[in-house]
Amino acid sequence: MSKKFYLPVAAILLFAGAGVVCSICSILGPKIINPLDRNLSSIDREIFFFIRLPRVCVGFLVGMGLATAGSILQSILRNPLADPFILGISSGASLFAVLALFLSNTFFILPVLPLFAFIGAITVSATVCLWSWREGTLHPEKLLLVGIGLSFFLQSLLMLLLNFIPSDTIRRASMWISGDISSADWELIPYAGFLIFLGMSVALLKTKAIQAMMLGDEIALGLGVNVHRERLFLIIAMSLMTAAAVSLSGIIGFIGLIIPHLARFLFRKIFSSHSYPPCLRSLLLLPFTAFVGGIFLTFADLVGRTILSPMEIPAGIITSLIGAPYFLYLLRKKNGNLSIF
């Protein structure tokens, strides 16, 4: 297969896979609903199209966005602990989202929410990067500490802001703190979906730069990569995805950190370097990570709303319950070092 077909084929496979996963997860649940059934009651139809399907789509989009954002961050900052939540980027996005909600009593236009979240995310990313910038280079270890510090500060601001919010919007606002996809509806999905795919496209076009940067800025420069410019592009792409994910579901912390590692581990098992050429492997890793993130959150949510029905367990709890032990198992393995690409 010629090289130029790799990307379109990968994209088609990703979309097809996402479609299959979303359909299966919408059909399954406490009660199996087959949307093709002609005798479907109107209540079931309502549940399928306006509760389950948007919820599954939100789950997939958020999982995808956060996993990709985490993966990009870990690579370009050369730090396996980097993730939008730890660096305070999610907190920044949710703070601005709540701010938008706060102001929205007077004027409320929906796209404002992801836009505000994006402004929050990009402000925090820029602050974190500038703060850990010394003598022309980024210090990854410092960056993490700056991010953690800033994250605490932003969360306190968020709590403070919640005190001033009118009680009717407080339920929606509290979503941005706890992270929840159960109240998903179709309203925001097109906007957030667009942002996530925009971010993904930028990241895919910059795969070479991401790969070069993980060898260190000096080597990347020698490979013809304009390090500072590419890093800026990638941080914008990552902020777009984080902002979109946060405006859909609030802060879900686990996915951005763990899924990239899980995905890389699975990727090495499935696409071994013996049988796949280097250029295909480097191109496929990001879409694969996105796909794993999407599947993971969607299935976690499916489990959460099914096993103890009618009670619901939030998806964030299930992801941690399944993912954390598996992650710890990976770390114990012989070659289980954390990798950044």
Partner 1 sequence: MEIYQYFKKGIFTKSTFVKEAAKEAAITTSTSTPTPTATPTIKIENLCFAYKQNQKKIFTDLNLKIYPAKLIALLGANGSGKSTLLKLIARILRPSSGNVLIDQMPLSHYHIHELAAKISYYPQSVEQNLSMLSISVEELVAMGAYSHSKDLNKKLFIPTRNSVIQMVGLEEKRHHPLATLSGGEQRRAFLAMFLHKGSRILLLDEPLANLDIKYQIELFHILHKLATVEHFTIVTAIHDLNIAKEMDQVLLLHQGKIIANGDPEKVLSKENLNSAFELTGLIN
Tell me if 2 contacts partner 1 by CB under 8 A.
no
Tell me if 142 contacts partner 1 by CB under 8 A.
no
Tell me if 226 contacts partner 1 by CB under 8 A.
yes
Among 215, 232, 322, 330, binds partner 1 (CB under 8 A): 215
Tell me if 222 contacts partner 1 by CB under 8 A.
yes
Residues 100/110, Cβ–Cβ less than 8 Å = no
CB of 63 to partner 1, least distance (A): 22
Stretch that binds partner 1, among 112-120, 192-200, 272-280, 294-302 (CB under 8 A): 272-280
CB of 78 to partner 1, least distance (A): 6
Stretch that binds partner 1, among 42-50, 104-112, 176-184, 216-224 (CB under 8 A): 216-224
Q: How far is CA 228 from CA 89, 140, 203, 225, 283, in A?
A: 20, 14, 15, 9, 22
Residues 184-203 that bind partner 1 (CB under 8 A): none
How crowded is residue 108: how many other Cβ atoms within 10 Å of its Cβ?
A: 11
Tell me if 264 contacts partner 1 by CB under 8 A.
yes
Phi, psi of 248 (to 5 degrees): -80, -40
SS3 content of the chain, % helix, strand, coil (to 5): 70, 0, 25
Residues 14-73 that bind partner 1 (CB under 8 A): none
Tell me if 268 contacts partner 1 by CB under 8 A.
yes
Tell me if 278 contacts partner 1 by CB under 8 A.
yes
Tell me if 130 contacts partner 1 by CB under 8 A.
no
Integer Cα distance of 279 and 234 in angstroms: 20
Residues 189/57, Cβ–Cβ less than 8 Å = yes
Phi, psi of 134 (to 5 degrees): -135, 130
SS3 287: helix
Among 221, 232, 321, 322, binds partner 1 (CB under 8 A): 221
Residues 67-86 that bind partner 1 (CB under 8 A): 78, 80
Among 121, 150, 204, 212, binds partner 1 (CB under 8 A): 212
Tell me if 126 contacts partner 1 by CB under 8 A.
no
Q: 294 Cβ partners below 8 Å, 6+ apart?
A: 18, 21, 59, 60, 61, 63, 64, 67
Q: How far is CA 43 from CA 30, 33, 54, 123, 185, in A?
A: 15, 11, 16, 44, 16
Tell me if 337 contacts partner 1 by CB under 8 A.
yes
Query: How many CA atoms are closer than 13 Å to the CA of 13, on its beta-carbon side?
Result: 11
CB of 163 to partner 1, least distance (A): 42
Tell me if 341 contacts partner 1 by CB under 8 A.
yes
Q: Which residue has the tokens 């012989």?
A: 334
Tell me if 208 contacts partner 1 by CB under 8 A.
yes
Residues of this chain that bind partner 1 (CB under 8 A)? 78, 80, 135, 208, 211-212, 214-216, 218-219, 221-226, 264, 268, 272-274, 278-279, 281-282, 335, 337-341
